Structure 1
C-alpha cells in the first residue's frame, strides 16, 4: 500500500474519530442538566463558605463525555496495535468511578488515594508499556536503568503525582480541559500513528466540553479529573516506551510541567507550614491569577505557557530541558506578577470547578 493511500486512510479515520468525540461531547453537554439531576451529580454554590462561587447548581458530568469518547476510540481499527486497550480502558473507567463516587459521597482523601494507587499499580504490573524501566534525558551518555520494583515504584509516584496535579489544577473554568486539549495535540506528535484516532476522539469531546465549561454549563467533576489524569498519564508512558529513540524523558516532562510545578510548590509550602499536602486552600496558581485579574482573562496566558514550550520541544528536537526551564521561568514570573497584590483569602476553597 502506498504512502498516499495510507495517509488518506488515516485522515479518514481521524475525521471520523473527531466526529465521534464531538457527538459524544454534544450529547453529554446538551443534556448536562438532566444528567446532573438524575444522577445527583450537581455542584452546589457555597458563597457564604467561600468554597464554591459559581452562580447556580452545575452538573459534574464532563467526565462522562471524556470517558465515553475514550472508550469509543478504543474500538476504532488498529488503535489496539501496540496498546493494551483492555487494561487501558479498565483503568480509565476505574479511575473515573473513583472520582464519581467522590463526587457523590465525598470520599476521604486517604481512601481515594489508596484506591487510585491500587488501580494504577495494577496497570503498571500488568502492562510493561505503562511502566518506566529506564530514563534517558538529553545530554545523558547512558540510560538510567530502573530495575524491578524501583521502576514500578517510580512509575506509581509519577502517576499519582500527576493525578494530584490535575486535581489541584481543576479549579477554574477551562483550565484543565484547555490543558488536556493541548496535551492531546502534543501526544499526537509523540504517539504511534495507530493511536491517533483515539486521540482525535478524545480531542473532539474535550473541544465541546471546553465551550460548555467556559459558559458555566458543566464541570468535569472529580470523575473527569481522575479520568483525564489516567488517560494522559498512561498514554504518555506508552509514548515514551514506543518513541524514546526519537525523544528524551525531558520532552515528556515538558508536556505536564506547569501543573506539576504548581503542585510541587503547594506541597512544599504546606509541609513547611505544618499542614498535610491534602489540605485545601486558595493558594493555587489559578487562585492568585483570579484574585489579581479575575477570570477568564488569565486563561490564555496559562494555556500559552503549556502550548508554546511543547511546540518548541517538538519543532527543535533535543531542546526539552531548555523548554522545561522556560516553563519554570514563565510559571514563576506569572506567579510573581499575580501575587504583587494581596494574596487570596486563606478560606478553604476550590473556586470554580473545571
Structure 2
C-alpha cells in the first residue's frame, strides 16, 4: 500500500507542476477555450491540461519501476501499463491537435478507435466473462472481445468528454472512479491472498493522483481546462486499467469476502465498473443523443442542457453542482465496489445512508443558502 501511495503522490506532484507549463504552452499556441453560449466560464481559459496529466502518469510509471516491491512484480504489470501509456499518449496527441485546431468529431473518433486498436494488438483487452458455476467462464471469439473492448473504451472516453462541462468536474469524477477501482483491486488481492502488484492497481493509483494534482489548477475558478487532450486521456486510462484485470486473473482465482468461491460481481466488475462509475455522464450522453436527434440535429451538436447545466438551473452554485456530481460518482463507484466485495446488513445500511444523503443534498436543498466558503465564488 505504501508504494501505491508513493505512486499517487508522484503523479499528483508532477501533474501539479507540469500544469503551469501546459498553461503557458496553451497560451503561446492559442489553445484557448473561447466563451460560448453553452459555457459557464466568463473569460477565455487555456486548454492542454492533458499534457500535464500525461506527464504525471509517465512520472508515476517511471518511479514505480524503481520501487522495491513493485519493481519485482510480474513482467505483465509494467508491460501492460506501458502499453496503456503509449495508447494514452497517442489519444492525447489527437486531443492536443483538437485543442489547437478543432478537429471534427469523426476524426477524433478515428483517433479513439486507433488507440483502442493499439491496446488490443498488445493484449490489453477483455478475455472472458463469468458464467454460473464455481470458476466457470465464457470466452467469446477474439473478434467479439475486440469489438466489445473498443466499444467500452470509446464510450468511456466520450462520456468523460461529455461530463467535462464545469470546472473540476471531469477530473474529480474520474479521480474518484480511479480511487474506487484501486480499492477494488487491492482488496480483491487481499481477499484472495494474491500479489498486491497489478497493472490495474498501479494505473488507477497513478490516475487518481494525476487528477488530484490537476484539480488544484482546474477547480473553480479554473485557470486551465484539460481539453480533449485530457478528457480522452483519462477516459482511456480509466477504462484500460479495468481491462488489464481480466488479463491477469482467471475467474477461478477470484472469490468473495466469505471465501465461497468465485463471486459473480468481482469477476464481472471490470466490465461494469467504467459504466458504473460514469453512469451519470453515460446517462447524460444518452439523453443528449436522444434530445438532439429528436430535434433533427446531429448527436454531436453542442447544447446547454446537460445534467450539470440543470443542476445550475435548479439553484445550485457552480461549486456545489460540481461537489454534488462528485458525490454521485463516489456513491456509484464506491457503492459498486462495496457491493461486489462485501455482504451483510452493515454494507446495505451504509449504502442506504449514502443514497439518502446524496438524494437530499441534490433535490431537497438546492435553494438553501450555500455555506460561506462555497458562497464566496458568487459574491
TM-score by length of 2: 0.73
Residue among 320, 328, 334 paired with 1:311: 334
Conserved? CA contact 1:95–1:227, under 8 Å? yes
In structure 1, stretches of 5+ residues that fail to align are: 1-9, 342-354
Q: Which residue of 1 aligns with 2:188?
A: none
| Whole-angstrom CA distance in 2 between matches of 1:256 and 1:202 | 15
Higher mean Cα deviation, 255-264 or 180-189?
A: 255-264
Residue of structure 1 equivalent to 2:84: 88
Quick one: distance in 2 between partners of 1:92 and 1:300?
Answer: 27
1:159 correspondence with 2:163? no
Deviation at 1:139, TM superposition (A): 9.8
State the secondary structure of the residue aligned to 1:82.
helix
Give the Å deviation of 1:86: 3.4
RMSD (Å) for aligned C-alpha atoms: 3.4
Structure 2 alignment gaps of length 5 or more = 66-70, 186-195, 256-265, 368-379
1:45 is the counterpart of 2:35: yes
Quote the residue 1:16 is aligned against.
Answer: 6
Which fold has the larger relative contact order, with Cα–Cα distance below 8 Å and residues 6 or more apart in sequence?
A: 1
Would you say the 8 A contact 2:127–2:246 is kept in 1?
no
Q: Distance in 1 between matches of 2:290 and 2:131?
A: 25
What's the CA shift for 1:173? 0.9
Q: Match of 1:101?
A: 97
> Contact (CA 8 Å) 1:133, 1:147: kept in 2 or not?
no
8 Å Cα contact 1:74/1:80 also seen in 2? no
Aligned pairs, number: 319
Q: Offset of 1:318 from its aligned partner? A: 5.9
> 1:104 Cα deviation (Å)?
0.7
Q: 1:32: how far off?
A: 5.1
User: Which of 43, 46, 54 lines up with 1:56 in the alignment?
Assistant: 43
Structure 1 residues 61-113: Cα deviation after superposition (integer angstroms, max 9, x where no partner): 32112111111222222377423233212100000011110011111111111
Equivalent residue, structure 2, for 1:229: 235
- Bigger drift between 253-262 and 130-139 goes to 130-139
* Closer, same or farther: CA 122–304 of 1 in aligned 2, 3 Å: same
Structure 2: distance between partners of 1:164 and 1:314: 23
Deviations 1:215-274 (A, max 9, x none): 311111110001111111110111244355241325524233222222222223333433
For 2:179 and 2:329, locate their aligned partners in 1 and report how far apart those are by CA, in whole Å.
12
The CA distance in 1 between the partners of 2:324 and 2:232, in whole Å, is: 24
Call closer, same or farther: CA 1:318–1:184 in 2, change over 3 Å. closer
Alpha-carbon distance between aligned partners in 2 of 1:163 and 1:140, rounded to the nearest angstrom: 34
Q: Specify the alignment match of 1:6 in structure 2.
A: none
How far apart are the structure 2 equivalents of 1:297 and 1:171? 14
Query: 1:22–1:148: structure 2 CA closer, same or farther, 3 Å change rule?
Result: closer
Deviation at 1:211, TM superposition (A): 2.3
What displacement does 1:204 show? 2.8
Structure 2: distance between partners of 1:163 and 1:112 = 11
Q: Distance in 2 between matches of 1:111 and 1:285?
A: 26
> Measured at CA, do residues 138 and 284 of structure 1 come closer, stay the same or move farther in structure 2, by a change above 3 Å?
farther
**Residues 201-210 or 25-34, more deviating:** 25-34
Q: What's the offset of the Cα at 1:197? A: 4.8
What is the TM-score with the length of structure 1 in the denominator?
0.78
